């Protein structure tokens, strides 16, 4: 399988001289099986360039894309209206995301392009678009790619995906807070917990189960892509924003026996030089027994398994 990174940033796109090397586009990762099956995780602004490669209306042969959405926060879907395969007749796009109780997935995406936000209504997209809503911990196949899911600890909940094909596995864990100080569910968390405040036992147990689910998902993986938006200092200040530190990712990978960790969902304010520094520190932390560590950059291209 081939894993390509098209957008590696969290929150919003940040073009400019300080983000040139790692890139400024928001989250989008493509996984291509040797058979040609194409799965894309998240539709941040990075997906625009991928769409150009796949081709839109009348450009290439009809294409089929399976799009897994971790959650529908802006930075994970904002590129979708610019994904050219949506506008090509004969193309097939299947969109997968966690089921909500209130809104259907299709309505979430359609509202993104409603007037006055966008000139082309979603209903005008020419591709055949299918929506699939997933329960927590779903397991299913996309042609020869096996998919498994786990719930993440993020405001309004996000989903982690493990993709297995060609004898290799990659896991996408974004966005998530560590599983320790706050339990995020379907409600807004306005402020950090008071220092030293104990979590209710119910919350502690839920967090423990969630963490076990993530470790299991990462078990023996060849590659783990992990939300490491926060430094230790960020986490002390704003733990209720729902993101992890590199040390959290190293701990999960170590426990799961994952081979390689990719630091992902870089903070928009982080310069290339700062990411270099975080990468060095994390490599030292992982040491010789931990995973090999890389920091995601646009254009990173990893071959795993056979083919
Ligand atoms: Zn995000
Ligand atoms: Zn988010």
Question: For tokens 């506008």, what's the residue?
Answer: 87
Rg value, the chain, Cα: 19
Give the confidence band of 59 by pLDDT, cuts at 50, 70, 90: low
Q: Which residues surround ligand 1, an ion (CB under 5 A)?
A: 10, 75, 175
- Whether the pLDDT of residue 171 is over 60: the answer is yes
- 132 alpha carbon – ligand 2 mean position (Å): 20
65 and 95 Cβ atoms separated by less than 8 Å: no
The least confident of 16-25, 57-66, 176-185 is 57-66
Q: Give the pLDDT confidence score for residue 112 in this predicted structure.
A: 94
Using DSSP's 3-state secondary structure scheme, residue 155 falls into: coil
With both helix axes pointing from N to C terminus, report the angle between 201-218 and 246-256 in degrees, rounded to the nearest 10: 60
Q: So what CATH class is 2-303? A: alpha beta
pLDDT value of residue 246 = 98
pLDDT tens for 234-257 read: 999 999 999 999 999 999 999 999
User: Ligand 2 center to residue 154 CA distance, Å?
Assistant: 7
For the residues 80-85, what does the mean pLDDT come to?
A: 96
CA of 224 to the centre of ligand 2 (A): 18
Q: Cis peptide leading into 266, omega within 30 of 0?
A: no
Q: Kindly give the distance from the C-alpha atom of residue 90 to the centroid of ligand 1, in angstroms, as a whole number.
A: 31
Q: How far is the CA of 175 from the centre of ligand 1 (A)?
A: 6
Asked if the model's pLDDT at residue 304 lies above 80, the reply is yes
Which of 294, 287, 162, 137 lies closest to 218 in space, CA to CA?
Answer: 162
């Amino acid at each position: 399988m081939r894993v390509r990174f098209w957008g590696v940033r969290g929150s919003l796109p940040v073009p400019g001289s300080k983000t040139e090397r790692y890139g400024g586009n928001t989250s989008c990762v493509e996984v291509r099986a040797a058979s040609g099956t194409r799965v894309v995780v998240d539709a941040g602004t990075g997906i625009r360039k991928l769409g150009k490669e796949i081709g839109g209306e009348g450009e290439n042969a009809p294409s089929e894309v399976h799009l897994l959405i971790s959650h529908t926060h802006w930075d994970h879907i904002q590129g979708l209206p610019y994904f050219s395969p949506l506008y090509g007749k004969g193309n097939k796009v299947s969109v997968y995301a966690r089921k909500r109780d209130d809104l259907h997935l299709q309505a979430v995406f359609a509202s993104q392009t409603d007037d006055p936000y966008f000139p082309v209504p979603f209903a005008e997209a020419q591709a055949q678009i299918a929506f699939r809503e997933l329960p927590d911990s779903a397991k299913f196949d996309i042609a020869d790619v096996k998919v498994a899911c786990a719930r993440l600890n993020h405001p309004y909940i996000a989903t982690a995906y493990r993709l297995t094909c060609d004898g290799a596995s990659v896991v996408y864990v974004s966005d998530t807070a560590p599983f320790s100080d706050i339990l995020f569910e379907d409600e807004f968390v306005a402020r950090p917990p008071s220092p030293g405040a104990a979590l209710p036992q119910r919350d502690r147990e839920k967090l423990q189960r969630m963490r076990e689910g993530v470790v299991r998902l990462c078990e023996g993986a060849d590659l783990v892509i992990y939300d490491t938006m926060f430094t230790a200092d960020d986490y002390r200040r704003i733990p209720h924003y729902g993101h992890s530190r590199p040390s959290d990712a190293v701990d999960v990978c170590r426990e799961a026996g994952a081979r390689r960790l990719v630091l992902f969902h870089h903070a928009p304010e982080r310069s290339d030089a700062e990411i270099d520094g975080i990468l060095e520190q994390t490599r030292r932390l992982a040491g010789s027994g931990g995973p090999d560590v890389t920091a995601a950059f646009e254009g990173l291209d990893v071959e795993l398994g056979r083919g």
